[in-house]
């Protein structure tokens, strides 16, 4: 399941909803990304996105993870709008019988989301506002999943 929203999310409640009434899940991995103040360099942040394409991309990425790993459930929640240091940005949750699938799928979802989901961060600090630059490391992290060897 995917959601794109302005409001905050509750990690514990999201995980509880995902596993409610189930006794077949052995492993749940959650990833939460949040705004870092970067030693005072960031006072606030605005996340712009491309409504419609964002949802389509997140659904595509989630379907890809479901096809690659035996997931029992998965969730992506991504926020947009005005955020402060410490605020949540993104939540990814994966559930599987075994931990490797849950870990790998969560990592994959984050790597792909970082390079594919149409979000743009604009940070404000003491020196003014600036659009965050994309990271070459993120491109490399996403590329590692396209190798035949599946991981790393």
Partner 1 sequence: MRLLYFAWVKEKVGVAAEEIDPPAGVATIAELIDWLKARGPEFENAFARSEVIRAAIDKRHVRHDASIAAAREIAFFPPVTGG
Q: Which residues bind its own copies (CB under 8 A)?
A: 10-13, 15-16, 19, 22-39, 85-86, 97, 99-100, 102-103, 106-107, 110, 141, 151-152
Residues 19/4, Cβ–Cβ less than 8 Å: no
Query: Is 144 an interacting residue with respect to partner 1 (CB under 8 A)?
Result: no
Piece of the chain touching partner 1 by CB under 8 A; list 64-72, 100-108, 119-127, 143-151:
119-127
143 binds, among partner 1, its own copies, none (CB under 5 to 8 A by kind): none
Is the CB of 57 or the CB of 62 nearer to partner 1? Answer: 57
122 binds, among its own copies, partner 1, none (CB under 5 to 8 A by kind): partner 1
Query: Is 89 an interacting residue with respect to partner 1 (CB under 8 A)?
Result: yes
**Smallest distance from partner 1 to CB 68, Å:** 19
**Smallest distance from partner 1 to CB 111, Å:** 9
Hey, CA dihedral for 72, 33, 2, 143, is it positive or negative? negative
Q: Which alpha helices (H) appear in 25-151, and where do they start and end? A: 53-68, 99-116, 136-143
Instruction: Give the separation between CA 148 and CA 127, rounded to whole angstroms.
Output: 45
71 three-state secondary structure: strand
17: left (phi over 0), alpha (psi -120 to 50) or beta: alpha
Instruction: Give the separation between CA 123 and CA 137, rounded to whole angstroms.
Output: 20
Least Cα distance to 61 among 147, 137, 2, 144 occurs for: 2
Q: Which residues bind partner 1 (CB under 8 A)?
A: 33, 47-50, 52-53, 56-57, 78, 89-90, 110, 113-122, 131-135, 138
């Amino acid at each position: 399941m995917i959601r794109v929203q302005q409001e905050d999310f509750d990690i514990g409640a999201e995980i509880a909803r995902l596993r409610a009434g189930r006794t077949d899940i052995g492993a749940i991995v959650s990833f939460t990304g949040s705004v870092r103040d970067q030693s005072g360099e960031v006072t606030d942040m605005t996340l712009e996105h491309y409504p419609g394409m964002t949802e389509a991309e997140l659904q595509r990425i989630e379907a890809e993870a479901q096809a690659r790993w035996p997931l029992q459930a998965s969730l992506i929640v991504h926020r947009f709008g005005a955020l402060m240091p410490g605020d949540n940005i993104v939540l990814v949750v994966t559930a599987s019988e075994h931990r490797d699938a849950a870990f790998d799928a969560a990592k994959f979802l984050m790597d792909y989301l970082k390079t594919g989901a149409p979000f743009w961060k604009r940070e404000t600090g003491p020196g003014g506002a600036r659009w965050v630059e994309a990271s070459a490391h993120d491109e490399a992290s996403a590329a590692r999943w396209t190798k035949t060897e599946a991981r790393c």
